[in-house]
Amino acid sequence: MFRIKIPATSANLGPGFDCMGMALQLYNTITIEKNRPFRISLAGSYRDGIPADESNLVWRTMCHFWDLIHYPTPTLDLTFENCIPPARGLGSSSAAIVGGLVAANLIAGSPYTKLELLQVADALEGHPDNVTPALYGGVTLSVPTERGVLPRILVQSPNLKAVVTIPDTHLNTKRARGILPPEVHRKDAVFNISHASLLTEAFIREEYSLLREGMRDTLHQNQRASLIPGLLETLEAALQTGAYGAALSGSGPTLLALIPNSSESDVPQSMVTTLKNHGINAQSMVLEIDVNGASSSITG
C-alpha cells in the first residue's frame, strides 16, 4: 500500500498571473492498494460532490498517463482524502491532476521525471501556476519556453506564513477567467512586469517589506472584484492589520495574505470580519508553506 500527499496551492500571488504560485501545508492524500478489485472510496472534509467512479478527475488523470505511455490499466483500490476545498482558488484540481500523475507514474515504475510530469500536468490544467508548486513545493515561477514549462523555485522555505480566508461560496475558474479581457493595455503590462519582478526580489532576498507593493496587480484582481464582494476592502484590511502583502488566491474566491512567521496576528480575524460586512461568510486558516511538493510513502 502506498500513499501520495499533494499540497494545496495559491496561484498568481498578485502580479504573477498564470506563472507564480506557492505550496501550502494543507493536503489531499491518495492511498493505493495494488492488485485489488477497482474501487474508489472518499474521505476528508471535502468529499461531498466528488465522484467515486471512473469520472473522478484523479482516476481519469491516471488513465490518461497510462494511455500516454502504453501501460495496461491496473486494478486498484483507491482512497482519496480531500482536505483542500474545491472551487475556492486553492488548487484542488491541480492537486487531483498532480496526485493522479505521480500515482500513475509510480505504479508504472517511474518512467517520467518530475519535469516530464510537469509538462503533462500543465497540458491537462491549462496553466502551470498551481501544478508547479504542487509538484515542487515552495514559492515557484513557471516560465513558458519553446521546450515547455521551465519551473524555478524562488524560495523553498520562506520565513513567513500564509493566511487563507475562504468564503463559503464557490467560484468556477472558467467563469473567473471568462470575465478577463483578452487583451491588456501596455501600461498594465508594464505595471505587472515590474511588480512581478519586485515580488521575485522580495522572495529571493527575503525582503518581505517589498511584498506590500510587490503583490499589487492590474491584470485580474480589480476585474474579478465584481465576483467577490468586499475583495479589495478585505485585502486592504489584511494590510492594515499587519500583513506583508495580500492578493486574490488563484481565481478566487479565497484571499491570501502573507504574514510574519513569529507573532500572533490580527490578519485572519480582520479579513473574516471585512468579508462579513460585505455579506460573505468565510473562515480563515493560517498555513505554513509546504517545502516538498507532492510526496509518496510506502505504508502498511
Its sign, for the CA torsion 187, 189, 191, 194, is negative
Three-class DSSP category at 224: helix
Cα 216 from Cα 191, distance rounded (Å): 9
**Residue nearer to ligand HSE on the CB measure, 20 or 210:** 20
Q: Is 33 in the site for ligand HSE (CB under 6 A)?
A: no
Q: Is 92 in the site for ligand HSE (CB under 6 A)?
A: no
Q: Is 130 in the site for ligand HSE (CB under 6 A)?
A: yes
Cα 81 from Cα 201, distance rounded (Å): 36
Quick one: which of 2, 3, 18, 225 contacts ligand HSE (CB under 6 A)? Answer: 18
Give the residue nearest to ligand HSE (CB).
250
Cα 272 from Cα 280, distance rounded (Å): 8
**Residue nearer to ligand HSE on the CB measure, 15 or 250:** 250
**Residue nearer to ligand HSE on the CB measure, 78 or 256:** 256
Give the single-character DSSP code of 291: S
Q: Which of the residues 238 through 277 are near ligand HSE (CB under 6 A)?
A: 250-251
**Residue nearer to ligand HSE on the CB measure, 10 or 56:** 10
Q: Is 129 in the site for ligand HSE (CB under 6 A)?
A: yes
Quick one: which of 4, 6, 7, 12 contacts ligand HSE (CB under 6 A)? Answer: 12
Render 74-142 in DSSP notation, one character per residue.
Answer: PPEEEEEE--SPTTSSS-HHHHHHHHHHHHHHHHTT--S-HHHHHHHHHHHHSSSTTHHHHHH-SEEEE
**Residue nearer to ligand HSE on the CB measure, 28 or 251:** 251
Peptide linkage before 260 cis (omega within 30 of 0): no
- As a dihedral over the C-alpha atoms of residue 124, residue 127, residue 247, residue 192, rounded to 10 degrees, the angle is 180
Quick one: which of 4, 6, 8, 11 contacts ligand HSE (CB under 6 A)? Answer: 11
Cα 183 from Cα 197, distance rounded (Å): 21
Cell of 245: 502583502
Quick one: which of 3, 64, 177, 212 contacts ligand HSE (CB under 6 A)? Answer: 177
CB of 89 to ligand HSE, least distance (A): 6
**Residue nearer to ligand HSE on the CB measure, 29 or 132:** 132
**Residue nearer to ligand HSE on the CB measure, 176 or 272:** 176
Cα 197 from Cα 247, distance rounded (Å): 16
CB of 81 to ligand HSE, least distance (A): 21
**Residue nearer to ligand HSE on the CB measure, 198 or 248:** 248
Region of 10-18, 24-32, 34-42, 147-155 interacting with ligand HSE (CB under 6 A): 10-18
Render 129-195 in DSSP notation, one character per residue.
Answer: TTHHHHHH-SEEEEEEETTEEEEEEEESS-SEEEEEEEESS---HHHHHHTS-SS--HHHHHHHHHH
Region of 77-85, 156-164, 172-180, 203-211 interacting with ligand HSE (CB under 6 A): 172-180
Give the single-character DSSP code of 202: H
Query: Which residues contact ligand HSE by CB under 6 A?
Result: 11-12, 17-18, 89, 127, 129-130, 173, 176-177, 220, 250-251
